[in-house]
Chain A
Amino acid sequence: AQSVTQLGSHVSVSEGALVLLRCNYSSSVPPYLFWYVQYPNQGLQLLLKYTSAATLVKGINGFEAEFKKSETSFHLTKPSAHMSDAAEYFCAVSDRDSSASKIIFGSGTRLSIRP
């Protein structure tokens, strides 16, 4: 069965520092992978998704993630953190089918930004 593991339920970085949120997946075949963000008291937003051959995926708000099959990882990074990045981030996985809709979410990582 597919699953994702997000390492660290809470990550704190200084403003301007590198953001690295870790995600490892478990799947028998390379799946589709996603990162979502949820700002306080708001709905979800899709940050980026890996569905094709390009292993480095660029998303919104300066975030990007790299699919590494050998490490079964899909870590989310941003070179320079901004106060507005404080939110909950979810990594997710789905089967490579026509809809990719049966998504399994990780438990989330809360990102805090220190001034």
Chain B
Amino acid sequence: KAGVTQTPRYLIKTRGQQVTLSCSPISGHRSVSWYQQTPGQGLQFLFEYFSETQRNKGNFPGRFSGRQFSNSRSEMNVSTLELGDSALYLCASTPEGLAGGSTDTQYFGPGTRLTVL
């Protein structure tokens, strides 16, 4: 079974531009979550999508948005990029979400490294 894939793996943008990152979950998984990892702020939850609906959202400005398609693939978009948006963006998928039993585990993609110049 293929793992979680994220594209692109590396991205360089300049301030003010916008960017779209893609995440393909494990087949059959309906929940996709996004996280930002930076040296200064650590790991932070961005949002979760389940069956094409945003089910939960972290404390990020409206410049950060996402969506999920009927095949569970998800995209996140960051508009008007700032230097502080430079980070590793991780996505993860689970069958139904993290509240399930022990078999309902979570699988992460390798991340997209975004650099904003």
Contact = CB atoms under 8 A, between A and B. Distances in A.
Interface residues of A, number: 26
Interface residues of B, number: 28
Contacts of A11: none
Dominant secondary structure at the A interface: loop
Contacts of B42: 105-108
A44 B58 CA distance: 18
Interface SS of B by simple majority: strand
Contacts of A98: 55, 97, 99
Contacts, number: 72
A7 interface: no
Interface of B: 31, 33, 35, 42-45, 48, 50, 55-58, 90, 92, 97-102, 105-111
25 contacts: A32-B98, A34-B98, A43-B108, A43-B110, A44-B90, A51-B99, A52-B101, A92-B43, A99-B48, A99-B50, A99-B55, A99-B56, A99-B97, A99-B99, A100-B97, A100-B98, A101-B31, A101-B48, A101-B97, A102-B45, A102-B57, A105-B45, A106-B42, A108-B42, A108-B43
